A and B are shown apart, each in its own frame.
Chain A
Amino acid sequence: MGLARNINQEPKSNKTSVRKSDLKVGLLFLAPSILLFSVFLFYPLVRTVYYSFHITDITGEQSVFVGMENYLFLFQDPVFYESLKATFLFVLYTVPTSIGVDLFLALLSNEKLKGIGFFRVIFSSTMGISAAASAVIWLFLFHPSVGFFNNVLNSLNLPVVQWLINPDWALLSVSITTIWMNLGFSFLILLGGLQNIDQTLYESAAIDGAGYFSRLWRITLPSLSPTLFFITTVTLINAFQSFGQIDILTGGGPNDATNLLVYSIYKEAFVNYHFGTASAQAIILFVFIFILTILQFKFAERKVHYQ
């Protein structure tokens, strides 16, 4: 009963009286959200910028204006560069892999096979596992002596790996954990996107004699592009914001190998109490995410097929 209406096509009356009362009601309804957004989002954002230009004491009260000094310091700080490097590597490891794996699983789960519901439940189950719980489980799996993976390596007479203690492996291990953790959510979204594809497109392709991969390339992926775009953006932003699993798995180490940006901010601010540099890092993070999102949208405008 009734289609989605375009709110801009609705009868716009000259009702100044209605508009005025709408304004009153509207502001009343929006007030709590506006209040909370202002207090806990906009104001703190401004404050972070402020802090990034200052050096403050532990309470954040006394502050000295130092201009760009915090930023300049960061740009020459090798620890910060390690952090950036680790973050970018992490994003590189997790984002494409995540999307690839999740897409693979979604495609598998979209087939009309008996019992497919069971598999869908399994694949989406990681969404119900928090970062902390996942991290603890993988912590155990990665354990050097009683962990499962080293058990397997042992029984195959292969050298054992110090998954979380060896700086060369630590980032990889954290990446694997992260990919596993985020499976459920992306899988569900991609599956939903697949299920929304018009079946008649496949039917006419079947009549044309197109095979599985041909259909995949020509119909599925283009039709899925809005969803893919959405998931990529979300995965990317999530990757930059990873924290919980790092805290539990490695604590940022070994040797800062997994000191991703957010973890670095956390350490600077709440362990070292350097609010100034921490805020500068936070602003840099913000800028990265902002630019990435804009870039994504620009890219999508050209490539995404909207039906």
Chain B
Amino acid sequence: MITLNEISKVYANSQKRAVNTVSATIEKGEFFVLVGPSGCGKSTLLRMLAGLEDITDGSMYIKGEYANSLPPKDRHLAMVFQNYALYPHLTVGENIVFGLKVRKVKKDEREKRLKEAAEMVGLTEYLKVKPGQLSGGQRQRVALARAIVSQTPICLMDEPLSNLDAKLRGQMRIEIREIQQRLGITMIYVTHDQIEAMTMGDRIMVLNNGEVQQIGTPLGIYNEPENEFVASFIGSPSMNIGKGTFIDKGVEIGDFHIPFYSNKRGEVKVGIRPEHIQLDENGQEVTIHSVEVLGYESIINFYMGESVWKAKVSSQVMVGKGDKIKLAFPLDKLYYFNAETSERILIQEMKEMVGV
């Protein structure tokens, strides 16, 4: 549906590449998420897709057509903005059909689409109200309805939920996903929230500093991160990553010892997700920094060498600062990263590295 070939963006007064040679193919009907920290270039990329920003280098194809210089209105897409971009002087109904009016869609058709969209987002009673009188969540739905009535095959969303409170966000996530699937829209969704990315996306693109870190399915990225950035960005709380050193019988990291037979020297980064660490009578003893009991699970902050690591266990742990506790670090849940390049080193490579 959409193909990006080495897309780059450099702003007029700066050296830095806001977006650096990004390539991807987005399939029809896919819910494709662009995720990354602030300033990683995801919004810029989205805006280039929309035609609101020029493309410095590379080429973009929409439905097979070369689209670099296509103006926004010829790209047949809809966009939902972070601040909703509703026209304050128009009613909700008028806001929703505004684009249709501009495109001279006939009145009956407009009314029909308005009715359907309003029902889908649950705003049927609010059509005559002005946006100023609505809550954030309701305004968001107006923006959503506006995208729905356009009946464009592609929809772009730029952090639409970031101004809503947590509960509402959770609700809207489900609604948006449902509408997208029902209507078969190709959705490109930008967010900095990795939970949104994980729960909504068919595939995710993780970006950092304008560069693609990894593209894959949520679980795929979760299970097999390709570098340290992706590993620590996806998953909450973040993966614990520390520097370890090769010693005779393996890798030593803090007080922790991973048994490998190796004759390698030097450093390697080792990581494990908090949720994979287990309470185990036969495990390693660690000293506790603090504990956060969440009710159904607890997060244990403990010392690993100089740093503090987290373990997420599904029980109510009643210990405190300074206490000792025993944890197990399953070997098959460990991740290894190159100490210099931060790239993931797979077990096979690892075994080769250490000559097993």
Contacts and interface: CB of A to CB of B under 8 A. Distances in A.
B70 to A, nearest CB: 11
A155 interface: no
Contacts of A11: 11, 47, 52-53
A199 interface: no
B53 A12 contact: no
Given A11-B53, A12-B11, A12-B12, A17 B69 contact: yes
Nearest to A21: B71
Contact of A12 (B13, B52, B84): B13
A1 interface: yes
B54 A14 contact: yes
Contacts of A32: none
A15 B88 contact: no
Nearest to B10: A14
B151 interface: no
Contacts of B47: 11
Interface string B252-268: 00000000000000000
Contacts of A2: 83
Contacts of A156: none
A13 interface: yes
Contacts, number: 25
Interface in A2-51: 2, 11-15, 17-18
Interface string B100-144: 000000000000000000000000000000000000000000000
B59 to A, nearest CB: 16
Interface residues of B, number: 14
B12 A14 contact: yes
B51 to A, nearest CB: 10
A276 B96 CA distance: 65
Main secondary structure of the interface of B (DSSP, over half): loop
Interface in B1-40: 10-13
Nearest to A13: B54
A27 B119 CA distance: 45
B54 A18 contact: yes
Contact of A14 (B52, B56, B83, B86): B56
Contacts of A12: 11-13
Contact of A1 (B12, B69, B88): B88
A17 B52 CA distance: 12
Nearest to A17: B69
A24 to B, nearest CB: 14
Nearest to A12: B12
Interface string B162-173: 000000000000
A77 B69 CA distance: 69
A13 B83 contact: no
B274 to A, nearest CB: 39
A13 B69 contact: no
Interface in B45-68: 47, 52-54, 56
Nearest to B69: A17
A250 B86 CA distance: 59
Contacts of B56: 14
Interface centre among B10, B12, B13, B54, by most chain A C-beta atoms within 10 angstroms, is: B54
Contacts of A18: 54
Nearest to A2: B83
Interface string A258-288: 0000000000000000000000000000000
Given A12-B13, A14-B12, A17-B69, A1 B54 contact: no
B13 A1 contact: no
A13 B88 CA distance: 27
A158 to B, nearest CB: 62
B63 to A, nearest CB: 22
A2 B132 CA distance: 13
Contacts of A13: 11-12, 53-54
A11 B18 CA distance: 12
A243 B188 CA distance: 66
Given A12-B11, A12-B13, A1 B53 contact: no
Given A11-B53, A13-B54, A1 B83 contact: yes
A109 B84 CA distance: 41
Contacts of B53: 11, 13
A118 B53 CA distance: 54
A18 B71 CA distance: 9
Contacts of A17: 54, 69
Given A1-B88, A11-B52, A18-B54, 16 more contacts: A1-B84, A2-B83, A11-B47, A11-B53, A12-B11, A12-B13, A13-B11, A13-B12, A13-B53, A13-B54, A14-B11, A14-B12, A14-B54, A14-B56, A15-B54, A17-B69
20 contacts: A1-B83, A1-B86, A1-B88, A2-B83, A11-B11, A11-B47, A11-B53, A12-B11, A12-B12, A13-B11, A13-B12, A13-B54, A14-B10, A14-B11, A14-B12, A14-B54, A15-B54, A17-B54, A17-B69, A18-B54
Interface of A: 1-2, 11-15, 17-18
9 nearest A-B pairs in the assembled complex, by CB-CB distance: A13-B54, A15-B54, A14-B54, A12-B12, A13-B53, A14-B12, A17-B69, A14-B56, A11-B53
